[in-house]
Structures are given as C-alpha cells and as structure tokens.
A and B are shown apart, each in its own frame.
Chain A
Amino acid sequence: AQSVTQLGSHVSVSEGALVLLRCNYSSSVPPYLFWYVQYPNQGLQLLLKYTTGATLVKGINGFEAEFKKSETSFHLTKPSAHMSDAAEYFCAVSDQGGNTGKLIFGQGTTLQVKP
C-alpha cells in the first residue's frame, strides 16, 4: 500500500530564507506524487505534480520539487520564502500510480514565515 511521511509538522523560516519541506513516500508501483497547499479556511490547491519524465518539477509560486527514486523522496523547496507562503503543505501519492485519482496524503507541514 502507498503511504507518505512528512518530516516535521512545523517548519519556521525567516522571510527570504530557503524553504525545505520534506516528504518521503512508499509505493509498490511507480508513484505519482503531488504537493498541495492549504491556506486558512480554504481548500487544497495544487502546487506541483510528478508523474513521469523530468525528476525536477516546477510549480506555482516559485516552488519546485525533486523526485529521487533511490531515496524515495519528493522534497519541496523554494529559494526565498515570502510572508504569503505561510500555510499548511501536504505531500500526496496517488494510489496505484495514475490509475485512480485517490490520493494518500501525509500529515501536513505548517510553514511559518517570520519577518
């Protein structure tokens, strides 16, 4: 069965600093991986996705993630944090690859950005 582990439930960075949110996955099939962001009182918004092909994936708002099969990781990064990046971030893996849209989510990481 597929699973996702997000390391660190809370991450705090200073404005302008590097953002690194960690995600490790377990999948019995080639994984489809996603990062979503949730702002207060809102639904989840897709930041980026990895399906096949290039392992470095660029998303919205300057975020990117790198799929590393050998490390079963899909960490999310952003070179310079902005106050508006403060939110909760979820890593997810698609159940059974891309055959269903069912996503298995990690527990989430709350990103705090300090001025």
Chain B
Amino acid sequence: DSGVTQTPKHLITATGQRVTLRCSPRSGDLSVYWYQQSLDQGLQFLIQYYNGEERAKGNILERFSAQQFPDLHSELNLSSLELGDSALYFCASSETGVSPLHFGNGTRLTVT
C-alpha cells in the first residue's frame, strides 16, 4: 500500500460529460502529480501541484483542470469528455518537489 488514495476506482460516463477524480496523498507529502496512462500514449505527465500551487504542467488538455486544496488532497476535473479520454488516471505524491513518487492505484475512466 503506497498510502496514496484515489477515488473512484472505476468511472463510466458518456461523451460530453464532466467528471472529477480525487486523490489523497500520503500523509506528509506536499506534492501531488497527475498522470494519464493509455495504450497508445503510455504514461503521460499531466500536472504537478506543490502545497497548493501549480508547479509544473505537462500534456494536459484545456478541457482538463486540477487543483490542490489546503488539506493537500487534489482533484482532477475532466470536461467535455471524448472517447479518447478513456484511460487510467494516476495520482502520485512525494514529500517535496523532488522524486521519488508514490503512486495510487488509479482511476479507470471509460467514456462511451
């Protein structure tokens, strides 16, 4: 058990809809990262937050947004969903802005 909790584990929704994925980092970790894993793109970094502030941005679509709250949990919001957004979304956390990362078990999103 990595200590990183992601909810829900599975999510099935229709195109055009909006969903929110939630992540609770390990106790004491200030930094949260979001990754997308798909068969064709592999593991892609989306965004990083450190103590509530955006630290780094990757290949995150404009339809996607994230935030980290004062209690350090994070949410990833995906809107106007498309079939191609179907993927496994991982959250990871680290104590500071320096690796290594500890990963949650992911949220599997299926867009129909």
Q: A residues within 8 Å of B by Cβ?
A: 32, 34, 36, 41-46, 49, 90, 94-95, 98-108
Contact = CB atoms under 8 A, between A and B. Distances in A.
B58 A43 contact: no
Pick from B101, B103, B105 the residue with the most CB of A within 10 Å.
B101
A3 to B, nearest CB: 12
Counting contact residues on chain B (CB < 8 A from A), the size range is 20 to 34
Contacts, number: 64
B14 interface: no
B99 A34 contact: yes
Contacts of B33: 101-102
B37 to A, nearest CB: 9
Interface stretch (B41-49, B63-71, B73-81): B41-49
Given A43-B92, A95-B56, 18 more contacts: A32-B99, A43-B4, A44-B90, A44-B92, A44-B101, A46-B101, A49-B100, A90-B43, A94-B99, A95-B45, A99-B97, A99-B98, A101-B33, A101-B99, A102-B45, A102-B48, A105-B42, A105-B43
